[in-house]
Amino acid sequence: MNILQTASHRLLAAIANLLAEKGIASAQEVAHRIALTDAASPAQGARMVARAWLDPDYRALMLSDGTKAAEAEGIPMRGLPPLGVLEDTADVHHLVVCTLCSCYPRAVLGYPPFWFKSAAYRARAVRDPRGLLAEWGTVIPDTMRLRVVDSTADYRWMVLPQRPARTDGWDADRLAAIVREGDMIGVTFPAG
């Protein structure tokens, strides 16, 4: 363990102790929250997307209150910023960025990919989103509106991508298997 890791572990322990002393959160609660965050992955968001593609009531819940929709899938959201869900349509495509740092719906998608936090991605997503997406192989037609949405410390966003053609009759597991992390950020489309 290097000196920075040692210092950050000591700082984390001091914060956890302070939270416990103030009666805000016990050491066990802090450890539990860390374990939940470490266990989160894009597979959780993919399950939400697949369920929304199959269940109109769940889709409506997801679009009106992403936090409640995540909790309905067993994803704990207590104490986290609200989750908003942006629906892609034939007319509008969404791209999520955090222009200041790396605000990301970790409870639903896990830790952000390294590129999401990069200054280059953050700047290009705002300045030239179509060019950025083209580099990912995601071509947005000129007839389609591209909406860039800023994820913040106060509100986190994910995308409900359009269900690919030729997936009629697929079950939730098969649908979830084609949803990638990039699809739920808006840099790619689900393969179908």
Q: Which residues are catalytic?
A: 98, 101-103
- The amino acid sitting at 105 is P
Here the tokens at position 114 are: 């390294």
Taking the C-alpha atoms of residue 67 and residue 80, their distance in angstroms, rounded to an integer, is 9
Place of tokens 């995308």: 159
Question: At residue 159, what are phi and psi to the nearest 5 degrees?
Answer: -105, 135
- Round the CA-based radius of gyration of the chain to a whole number and report it: 18
Neighbouring C-beta atoms of residue 9, cutoff 10 Å? 11
Beta strands (DSSP E) in 61-175 are 83-87, 92-97, 145-150, 156-160
Give strand pairing partners of 87.
160
Distances (CA, A) of 188 to 45, 53, 59, 66: 15, 17, 20, 21
